[in-house]
Amino acid sequence: MASSGIIVFIFPVLCICAVKSGFVKVECKAENVGHYGQQSLLECVVKTSSDVNDPNIRMVAWKKLTSPEDEGDLVLGFKRGKLDEPKRGYRFAEPSWNGKNMNVSLLITNTAVADEGDYKCIVITDSGDDNMVTTLKVQAKYSVPTVYSIPEKIVPNTDSTLVCESHGGYPQGTIRWFDEEKHEWTASSKMEAKQSDDGLFQLTSRLSLLGGSTFSKYTCAVFNASGGKEDEKTFEMPPPPPSSLGGEHTASAYTSKVVAPLVVIGSLIIGLLLLLLYKRRSQKARRNSTAPLMGTPIFGHIITALLFLLSNLL
């Protein structure tokens, strides 16, 4: 019987504690996005049931977790009416926060990549306690890409490489290549990502071009980790020299322009010579001529006219 009495006594006590703890609830935004070098807000508020009148917060502890089971490192604390010395860059979002303020949101004044991760907010009031974990994701925008060629002066019909660089971004993004017709050339490139001491990434992509590439423009585009395009830069290939730009066609056209008139004029001269030879033989049949036919003024005028025509055509 004695043991039964002890069980009856303990059970109501446990029930009272559970109900009392249920009067208070910490509600946080599950995921928060912060931008590198700017302020980041981790939103958390304390909600109480209608049975609680004039609640008072006795303790708040904000901890950064390295794993779900980790106790975490204290970054901001409040207990017994006083603020603990906060870690540099952390404070309550409300400037004049006190134990009567149910908004316990955490403000990070100068967000760094190292601030990314899970945070645990622990609250103890005079009406109960609760805690909740919230996450901070850090983002940093990549710089406008720069593009240059190796060698600096591209020689037509020789192999070359285009290099695209962008830095200062987070998380790791990608660089993609397109020609002026929007065809993608990323598969022909190689990208390298280096992370600096501040956690930001520098992206470098190299696109190899074979001699005789026909496209005049190539665009390097930087995409963030979510797949969104942040910026782009277009590189214009140097124009080929006139000798290589349809040189054979130009030479062929010039040759045709010169040869065609010569053929026509040559044909006319041969025709005239045959005509004059025919006339000469006809005249010899009727009489003997002492004046050479080739020296007649008419033939000289014809030759002069043909030469004038030839000079104009050329």
Q: What is the pLDDT of residues 92-101, one digit of tens each?
A: 999 889 999 9
Residue 175 sits in a domain of what CATH number? 2.60.40.10
Considering its fold, how many domains does the chain have in total?
Answer: 2
Residues 36 and 129 in one domain: yes
pLDDT at 115: 96
Residues 215 and 150 in one domain: yes
Residue 249: inside a domain, yes or no? no
What domain range includes position 34?
Answer: 22-139
Residues 80 and 108 in one domain: yes
Domain boundary, last residue among 139, 161, 183: 139
Residues 33 and 125 in one domain: yes
Residues 101 and 210 in one domain: no
Residues 118 and 165 in one domain: no
**Which residues of the chain carry a pLDDT beneath 70?**
1-22, 241-265, 268, 271, 275, 278-280, 282-314
Given a contact cutoff of 8 angstroms between Cβ atoms, the answer to whether 117 and 136 are in contact is yes
Given a contact cutoff of 8 angstroms between Cβ atoms, the answer to whether 96 and 83 are in contact is no
pLDDT at 67: 81
Residues 74 and 164 in one domain: no
Residue 222: inside a domain, yes or no? yes
Residue 34: inside a domain, yes or no? yes
Residues 156 and 213 in one domain: yes
Residues 116 and 199 in one domain: no
Residue 245: inside a domain, yes or no? no
Annotate 139-149 with b (16+ C-beta within 10 A) or e (fewer): bbbbbebebeb
Residues 162 and 132 in one domain: no
Residue 181: inside a domain, yes or no? yes
Residue 157: inside a domain, yes or no? yes
pLDDT at 157: 82
Domain boundary, last residue among 236, 267, 288: 236
Residue 304: inside a domain, yes or no? no
Residue 76: inside a domain, yes or no? yes
- pTM for the complete prediction? 0.68
Domain boundary, last residue among 116, 139, 162: 139
